[in-house]
Structure 1
Amino acid sequence: MLEALRAGGSRALVMRGEPGVGKTALLDDLAERATGCQVVHAAGVQSEMELAFAGLHQLCAPMLERVDQIPSPQREALHTAFGLSRGPAPDRFLIGLAVLGLLAEAARSRPLVCVVDDAQWLDRASAQVLAFVARRLGAESVALVFAVRMPDGVAELARLPELVVGGLTDADARALLGSVVRGPLDERVLGRMVAETRGNPLALLELPRGLLPAELAGGFGMPGAAALPQQIEDSFRRQLAPLPDDTRQLLLLAAAEPVGDPVLVWRAAQRLGITSGAAAPAVGAEMLEIGTHVRFRHPLLRSAIYRAATPEERRSVHRALAQVTDPEADPDRRAWHRAEAAPTPDEDVASELERSAERARARGGPAAAGAFLERAAALTRDPARRTERTLAAAQAMHQAGAPDSALRLLSLAEATPLGEVPHAHVDLLRAEIAFAVNRGGDAAPLLLKAAEQLEGIDVRLARETYLDALSAAMFVGPFAAGSGVRKAAEAARDAPQAPHPPRAADLLLDGLATRYADGFAEGIPVLRQALQGFRGTDLPEEEGLRWLWLAHVSAVDIWDGTWDEHSARLVELARDTGALTALPLALSMRIGMHVWVGELGAAASLIEELETVTEATGSHLAPYGALALVAWRGREAEGTALIEATLEEAARRGEGIGVAYAHWTAAVLYAGLGRYEDALAAAGQVTEHPHEMGVSTWGSLVELVEAATRTGDLGRAADALQSLTRLTRAGGTDWALGLEARSRALLGDGPAAEADYREAIDRLSRTRVRGELARAQLLYGEWLRRASRRLDAREQLRTAYNAFTAMEMEAFAQRAERELLATGEHVRKRSVSTISDLTAQEVQIARLAGDGLTNAEIASRLFISPRTVEWHLGRIFAKLEITSRRQLQRR
């Protein structure tokens, strides 16, 4: 690791081993060997697991003077997370980018080694951020090393390189044991101790302490076969027994104080009447070291001391620590100490914990907020207030991505009699968790139930919940029990009226409810009003992030021209506000837009970014953008594999919208390849149950008309055209009517068919859907060739071929080429420059740099550091034999 670091590389490593096996010793050895490097330390503390970003602050504190060198949004996110400034709660991935940038800046002068001991006790927010950083390290000269206790684990650190630290060999274990045991040792006792400790160095050093020579010589009184950490803790407790009472109390005080601040410990000791002389026996026994920090010989010694104390003894030291903790500088630790000191419910302490929860939530630590609120609920005497705090804790845990904890808290809340309002909130939260965990399933019925209960309590929240229910039903589509989307739409249609003036979200709810309950045409006027509302400059950020994706989908559904603006604004909002969890869906929408307008290169670039974001954020969104891209490109093997995988995964999750989308893209793919039987089968899967799909079926109806006419199933094609025409006439845009004219031409003949083809080309040429326009020209050319009008056919086919080639729609281009050859025309191949020497990430960086983005902007897009971008650009310039970004843009 150090060799790679000094050569400019970066590494991450997780050391795993049981307590006492030597992980800390190896970290200390690493720090000693890291000559010429900077070394920063952090350690998880069990009693600090509820304090958001406590571990991260430990690690970053020595480098915070460099924080001004990272981009402003990241700097502000880090300041907010650490409580250095106020602002909206930052997305944890934005904080991750900030920390990555900060470490990279710190490593500019010298390589940086970051050591994190006892990572199993990191607060969850810190663990998430540090794991994110570890996976994104590149060329920063940063090493990030974690030590994790086994069998404990840190889920966030999964998939990182791992080193398992085992025990000593039998011979070394005997030698180590012999170094601490004075006098003869019974061979059978020695063998048993070596076997039971499994070569654990700390156990070999500690277990003999406190045993009498006779016990060691003959094995009398040896402990039973308890778990090794328990054996070590028992040994530590035996060592406590001979110490004076005030020394044991001082040790307990130090064990309960997580920071290791000697000033704080001595102030609390004074409160308890403990004198400075109490430390001497503990220091002499090498249990405790008091210098600039208070440190125990081993974390297990700390936990042994704490567990050995009675509840009243623990409450006593926490009370003293609360009294000496500054309520202005460290209010959250003070609140936690007060909570641990409270023997019975205490509203004053519970209120203080509630305020700590608000601070944690504002810093972007919902898991910490949930812990504070859960403890506050336990200290609340009033049943109604206790339920309220328990529900708030459940909501925080849901926001933290901990559904099991959230559901456990909901069960606690439901165990008490609930009034109308809390009962509605329980149902709403349970529905939200169901929708977050699994887009299919029971989410829509649960949301509808919650929305109905909320009608008489909070009209705005009720309407938002109806919109969530409708969204959930659309995701489930044909997998819903009963009538699915229609049932949700009918319930939403009967929701209380929105306050005046209605928000864009209110209009969207009314429009979608009408569209699915009363009919496509009936919903369009209100939907168009809603779509204009989402274009407004006064649209709140929260509302945009929450609903713009649904506005975009609705715009495509009714062929409305605002679809481009909605997807662009959603991506911009997600990036500008740091709402990176919203970015995967936003990018998927944008990719689809680029595919529709024939900008497949731009779509491919965003696909690479989407994959990076998805990997970094752990998103489980179906690959909607990738499906559209591979279908229109016409890459058979890649497309078939992706479609099959998506169908399987979406069906498993009960995500009907994903199944419908995969079938539609399959129909497009097979149309390009000329496999019309397969295209017909795929399109039919979507159009078979149009009312239950929860997604527009017009795209599949268009494909069905073409595939059915090509396979001679004219009756089915006519039925599909009739269904399509009802939709396109209601839509009334050039996009809609152009597709209708093209589809009608396929079933026509003579002058009427030619007029329809010309209308289709004329209308589609006034839109941005270049792929559909080129397909109209291809079909018209094919029709002209079959009518033996070769010269006219060549004109249309040549135009289509050039368009498909420019858009990289390979299968459709080959179809046009075959038709051109059939007319007798020689097809001149267009040369396409390649950059095959570059890696996938280098291509991604080159494209973004060519678009004019700075290193910092590229780093933010790709979740890497600016230094890694700089390093990649150096390699790109060398491979392409260029020296400037201007040359890169031309290339």
Structure 2
Amino acid sequence: MLYGRDGESGLLRGLLAEAAGGTSAALVLYGEAGIGKTALLDELAAGAGRARVLRTVGIEAETELPFAALHQLLRPALDRLGVLPGPQADALRSAFGLAAAGGQDRFLTGLAVLTLLSEHAGEDPVLCLVDDAQWLDRPSLDALAFAARRLDAEGVVMVFAMREPQPLGLPELRLDALDPAAVTALLDGRDAAGLPPHVRERIAAEAAGNPLALIELPRSLSAEQRTGLLGPLPAAPGDPSPSNRVRAAFGARIDRLPAPTRAALLVAAADDTGDLATVLRAAGATPEALEAAETADLIRLDGTTLVFRHPLVRAAAYRSATLARRIAAHRALADTLDGAEHADRRAWHRAAAATAPDETVARELDLAAERATGRQGTASASAAHERASQLSPDPADRRRRLVAAAQAAADAGQFQRVAALLERTEDAAQSAELARVQAALQLNEGSAVRAVEVLLAVADAARPILVEAFHAARSAGVPELVARVAARARTLPTGPHDTLAAAAALYGDEDGDGHGDGDGDGGGRGTVREWPFGGAARDGDLLFSERFLAAHATHALADHGLARDLATLLLAHCRAQGLLGWQATSLHLLAEARLALGELESAATGAAEGLRIAQYAGLDHRACYLRTTLAACAAIEGDEPRSRELAETALAHATAHDLGAAVLHAHHALALNHLGGGDPAQALAHLDHPLTGPPVLNAFLLPDLVEAAARSGADRTAVAATARAQAWAARSATPAAHALAARCRALTSTDAHAEAAFDSAVALGEQAGGSLELARTRLLHGEWLRRRKRRSDARRVLREAMEAFEKAGARPWAERARAELRGTGEVIDATSATATPLGRLTPQEREVVRLAAAGHSNREIAAQLFLSPRTVGHHLYRAFPKLGVASRDQLAHALGEPPTRQKTG
């Protein structure tokens, strides 16, 4: 029976009742040890009815064993693995050691958990109970939290119980101490019922409303103490908190057990399998040795499994033993756990038993780290490398393993841990490996400028270091740093495709004037006539960082169609190889390329996916850039509040971390809101920054800067920016770059030359294929024509612009074109709408419907959007009536798109 928990119990029962109707929920229960979390979970499980209950518990000794807790939870559902999409099933099999490590990313493992829970539910709800979650191994906790954050319409309830809340992004409920009435009721109904009043009062005071303390403290009293003749409570050493007093009480009960029982309990406490045979074999004991502990209600024997009644019992059994006995217990377990399947546990037990440096044990931990990395348990790998470092006799090995621990922590997104590990490597030589970890930390948590400095400080920096330096320097957006990296790159021997040499030419305009020869063919000082970036990005033998540098260069050169194709290729490689961080980065490039091509919906979808991955992986600097892309998409769509929120969040992070390029992108997104709304002066306030260095660094904002300046009367600014745009186009030699440069010339030229420039911009824009930029050129041309009273010409151009904007969903620009058309005297159909059919849907429904209209099945959509198939079906069910359709094969027509292949979900 529970006392004083009616509200909490009712809340949990309500979540389970809603799950019977298909609604999912997740909740974190937190509070001190003994406060009643486990009791609430037990009550919920007992009253689960037809719900399928899955349960796991965190064990302190298992915190470094990747996916141990997740395997315990999902074991009853593993018979459904076969119905999961192949990559998801492979990810779980790899995580659980059921198949060879395949390099799947952590994101895919979390998605597999979500899908498996949805499949396991069937027609009945699923109740997932995760007790003592503070001791879950990090890979398990990450995967479960990922799935919990995406629960929607699966009929799944997931409850985490832990002592202190963690930033899991889930609703939380704190369990406080029992009120006085509940304390009295509990004491009346338990072992304290017959105690003298002053003893009961002392117990109530010492327990401080902790239910477990109220139960266990009376049990720990001797006969004399129960009569009140002696002090009523055993002393609690150290912290006198209720949980510590309970642990002391458990320790006192354990101390009264026979020696063989205490020895077996110690081995069980050090063990993490709960396997009774393993415990007895390591302890050299028989089942009879545990009878006294079972009778004392300290443990429960369930078939072949030994379970401690409470984690504090396990803690008391372990911590009350001497160091020598604990070491002996770990050695005995290491000797008992034979076989390859126990290699990780064996390594950790030997590490726990080590009292001095031991290279043999350190090497075993290195192997455990490699296995954990292969199963995407990077946090566990980091812990193994760190402990191996502590056990390394040789200082060089100690430093090497510490750097490896920091690198694994960075891969896990644990950058606070990275910083702590790097503090212990201050006396280490500045190796390339150390520099790369330091730079990753600086880029994410510190300063992009400092990241470049760290990489350039490496003596004889090889190609991988300088490639990363290029990436960091572009993020910093400081021309002098970019020039320094370019200069270093020129000293290297020529490599495959000459990627670094080409990058040095593209970014190495050292004097900062940005002037080529102006002939438009990409010639002139510091240029190359045939950029090698396409071949480099496709070369699977190159480092991925170099391939991405090449792909990004094609976008910087305004060859956006090629950039989109290369980003798609690199994204597929990332998904296949489990490169989580690069996956978010590739999605960012893909979204930027699509946005430049006017593919607004797909750009926003890709950027949203990238942001989810970046947040999951702890990549704050990449999340910053993705927010600027989403802000630009929202601005073009006309969602100014969302655009402003995203841009300002990104701007704050970018400013604090010296991400100069992200600062410009955030201001650019804010300016787009004003340009779309017809306020060029406010747009100019965001865009008018000192622009130095090679134009390629800030070419993306030059056309909008020219437009804002020209329409605001800031002629000198417009002319200067036009010169940079022309220099960029000469360096790029792509139709899209020349189209935008021509548009800039048209806005800053006299009437005699403006018309020819507009005509050139339209012709080149049609060749480039960027529908949105072409529509903007036509809008500006139409405005120019109307001001010169050429109404008939203006109508034709403005009508084309308006239709393109409406098709793209660029509502503010469509309204501008419509207003200009009215100014020419054209009557606009009042039923003409600036919103696309997708605008009637929520953002999540919009993503689902767009993919369904393209012919993707529910499972394919779920995999792409990181949802469960059941949730995808739920979104389609809600979207159909909004779009006026009855089935998915009508979606393409409703959205005004050509029909595509159709699948059933």
Q: Same fold (TM over 0.5)?
A: yes
Q: Is the 8 A contact 2:628 2:669 kept in 1?
A: no
Counterpart residue identity of residue 533, structure 2: L
Superimposed CA distance per residue, residues 210-243 of structure 1 (whole angstroms, 9 cap, x where no aligned partner): 4334434155374367122221111112112222
What residue is the counterpart of 1:361 in the other structure? 373
Q: Distance in 1 between matches of 2:405 and 2:642?
A: 45
Name which of 681, 684, 687 aligns with 1:680.
Answer: 684
Name which of 198, 202, 205 aligns with 1:195.
Answer: 205
Name which of 514, 521, 526 aligns with 2:508.
Answer: 514
Q: Give the secondary-structure state (helix, strand or coil) at the position aligned to 1:760.
A: helix
What residue is the counterpart of 2:352 in the other structure? 340
What residue is the counterpart of 1:119 in the other structure? 133
Q: 1:489-504 to 2 correspondence within 5 Å? A: 489-494=486-491, 496-498=492-494, 500=495, 502=496
Relative distance call for 1:340 and 1:262 in structure 2 (3 A) is same
Residue 617 of structure 1 deviates from its aligned partner by: 5.2
Q: Is the 8 A contact 1:40 1:59 kept in 2?
A: yes
Name which of 840, 844, 855 aligns with 2:843.
Answer: 840
Residue 488 in structure 1 maps to residue 496 in structure 2: no
Q: Give the secondary-structure state (helix, strand or coil) at the position aligned to 2:340.
A: coil
Q: 1:771-790 to 2 correspondence within 5 Å? A: 771-790=772-791
Q: Distance in 1 between matches of 2:826 and 2:793?
A: 12
Q: Is the 8 A contact 2:554 2:563 kept in 1?
A: yes
Superimposed CA distance per residue, residues 76-129 of structure 1 (whole angstroms, 9 cap, x where no aligned partner): 111111111113332111100011111111111532222211111101111111
Q: Is the 8 A contact 2:455 2:469 kept in 1?
A: yes
What residue is the counterpart of 1:663 in the other structure? 667
Q: 1:697-736 to 2 correspondence within 5 Å? A: 697-736=698-737
What residue is the counterpart of 2:874 in the other structure? 871
CA RMSD of aligned residues (A): 3.0
Q: Distance in 1 between matches of 2:873 and 2:444?
A: 38
Q: Give the secondary-structure state (helix, strand or coil) at the position aligned to 1:442.
A: helix
Residue 304 of structure 1 deviates from its aligned partner by: 0.6
Counterpart residue identity of residue 682, structure 2: D
Q: Distance in 1 between matches of 2:579 and 2:436?
A: 23
Which consecutive residues of structure 1, in runs of 5 or more, have no partner in the other structure? 456-461
Q: Give the secondary-structure state (helix, strand or coil) at the position aligned to 1:380.
A: coil
Name which of 298, 305, 321 aligns with 1:287.
Answer: 298
Relative distance call for 1:731 and 1:524 in structure 2 (3 A) is farther
Q: Distance in 2 between matches of 1:62 and 1:526?
A: 61
Residue 377 in structure 1 maps to residue 379 in structure 2: no
Name which of 640, 649, 652 aligns with 2:656.
Answer: 652
Q: Distance in 1 between matches of 2:411 and 2:460?
A: 21
What residue is the counterpart of 1:437 in the other structure? 445
What residue is the counterpart of 1:7 in the other structure? 21
What residue is the counterpart of 2:459 in the other structure? 453
What residue is the counterpart of 1:469 in the other structure? 469
Name which of 169, 178, 200 aligns with 2:179.
Answer: 169
Larger CA deviation: 389-398 vs 211-220 = 211-220
Name which of 325, 328, 332 aligns with 1:316.
Answer: 328
Relative distance call for 1:779 and 1:431 in structure 2 (3 A) is closer
Relative distance call for 1:523 and 1:5 in structure 2 (3 A) is farther
Counterpart residue identity of residue 585, structure 1: T
What residue is the counterpart of 1:397 in the other structure? 409
Q: 1:207-226 to 2 correspondence within 5 Å? A: 207-216=217-226, 217-218=228-229, 220=231, 222=233, 223=235, 226=240
Q: Distance in 2 between matches of 1:708 and 1:836?
A: 32
Q: Is the 8 A contact 1:821 1:827 kept in 2?
A: yes
Q: Distance in 1 between matches of 2:293 and 2:645?
A: 66
Counterpart residue identity of residue 569, structure 1: L
Counterpart residue identity of residue 388, structure 2: A
Q: Distance in 1 between matches of 2:795 and 2:353?
A: 87
Q: Give the secondary-structure state (helix, strand or coil) at the position aligned to 1:50.
A: coil
Q: Distance in 1 between matches of 2:395 and 2:642?
A: 58
What residue is the counterpart of 1:277 in the other structure? 288
Residue 557 in structure 1 maps to residue 556 in structure 2: yes
Superimposed CA distance per residue, residues 456-483 of structure 1 (whole angstroms, 9 cap, x where no aligned partner): xxxxxx22212222221221225x9xx3
Relative distance call for 1:849 and 1:241 in structure 2 (3 A) is same
| Percent pairwise identity | 38
Q: Give the secondary-structure state (helix, strand or coil) at the position aligned to 2:474.
A: helix
Q: Give the secondary-structure state (helix, strand or coil) at the position aligned to 2:245.
A: helix
Q: Distance in 2 between matches of 1:425 and 1:646?
A: 29
Residue 318 of structure 1 deviates from its aligned partner by: 1.3
Q: 1:48-63 to 2 correspondence within 5 Å? A: 48-63=62-77
Counterpart residue identity of residue 316, structure 1: A
Counterpart residue identity of residue 444, structure 1: V
Q: Is the 8 A contact 1:781 1:794 kept in 2?
A: yes
Q: Distance in 2 between matches of 1:436 and 1:571?
A: 22
Superimposed CA distance per residue, residues 522-570 of structure 1 (whole angstroms, 9 cap, x where no aligned partner): 687559534222453x425x844x4555434422322335223223334
What residue is the counterpart of 1:459 in the other structure? none
Residue 73 of structure 1 deviates from its aligned partner by: 0.8
Q: Distance in 1 between matches of 2:31 and 2:789?
A: 79
Q: Distance in 1 between matches of 2:191 and 2:730?
A: 93
Name which of 857, 861, 876 aligns with 1:858.
Answer: 861
Residue 853 of structure 1 deviates from its aligned partner by: 1.1
Q: Is the 8 A contact 1:657 1:695 kept in 2?
A: no
Relative distance call for 1:278 and 1:706 in structure 2 (3 A) is closer
What residue is the counterpart of 2:311 in the other structure? 299
Residue 881 of structure 1 deviates from its aligned partner by: 5.2
What residue is the counterpart of 2:521 in the other structure? none
Relative distance call for 1:526 and 1:333 in structure 2 (3 A) is farther
Residue 424 of structure 1 deviates from its aligned partner by: 4.5
What residue is the counterpart of 2:769 in the other structure? 768
Relative distance call for 1:188 and 1:557 in structure 2 (3 A) is same
Q: Is the 8 A contact 1:350 1:379 kept in 2?
A: yes
Q: Distance in 2 between matches of 1:33 and 1:184?
A: 32
Counterpart residue identity of residue 589, structure 2: M
What residue is the counterpart of 1:689 in the other structure? 691
Residue 726 of structure 1 deviates from its aligned partner by: 2.5
Q: Distance in 2 between matches of 1:408 and 1:609?
A: 31
Q: Give the secondary-structure state (helix, strand or coil) at the position aligned to 2:424.
A: helix
Q: Distance in 2 between matches of 1:713 and 1:444?
A: 36
Relative distance call for 1:792 and 1:139 in structure 2 (3 A) is closer
Relative distance call for 1:209 and 1:682 in structure 2 (3 A) is closer
Residue 508 of structure 1 deviates from its aligned partner by: 5.5
Q: Is the 8 A contact 1:97 1:860 kept in 2?
A: yes
Q: Is the 8 A contact 2:105 2:575 kept in 1?
A: no
Q: 1:57-206 to 2 correspondence within 5 Å? A: 57-149=71-163, 152-155=164-167, 157=168, 159-177=169-187, 181=191, 185-206=195-216
Superimposed CA distance per residue, residues 344-367 of structure 1 (whole angstroms, 9 cap, x where no aligned partner): 332222222221111111111111
Q: Is the 8 A contact 1:528 1:560 kept in 2?
A: no
Q: Distance in 1 between matches of 2:94 and 2:731?
A: 50
Residue 249 of structure 1 deviates from its aligned partner by: 0.8
What residue is the counterpart of 1:27 in the other structure? 41
Counterpart residue identity of residue 395, structure 1: Q
Q: Is the 8 A contact 2:445 2:657 kept in 1?
A: no
Relative distance call for 1:702 and 1:883 in structure 2 (3 A) is closer
Counterpart residue identity of residue 508, structure 2: T
Q: Distance in 1 between matches of 2:552 and 2:537?
A: 14
Which consecutive residues of structure 2, in runs of 5 or more, have no partner in the other structure? 1-14, 517-523, 895-905
Q: Distance in 2 between matches of 1:792 and 1:287?
A: 90
Counterpart residue identity of residue 758, structure 1: D
Residue 716 of structure 1 deviates from its aligned partner by: 3.8
Superimposed CA distance per residue, residues 763-796 of structure 1 (whole angstroms, 9 cap, x where no aligned partner): 2221112233233333333333344433333333
Q: Distance in 1 between matches of 2:193 and 2:154?
A: 54
Q: Distance in 2 between matches of 1:243 and 1:527?
A: 85
Q: 1:734-749 to 2 correspondence within 5 Å? A: 734-749=735-750
Counterpart residue identity of residue 754, structure 1: E
Relative distance call for 1:22 and 1:718 in structure 2 (3 A) is closer
Q: Distance in 1 between matches of 2:775 and 2:133?
A: 57
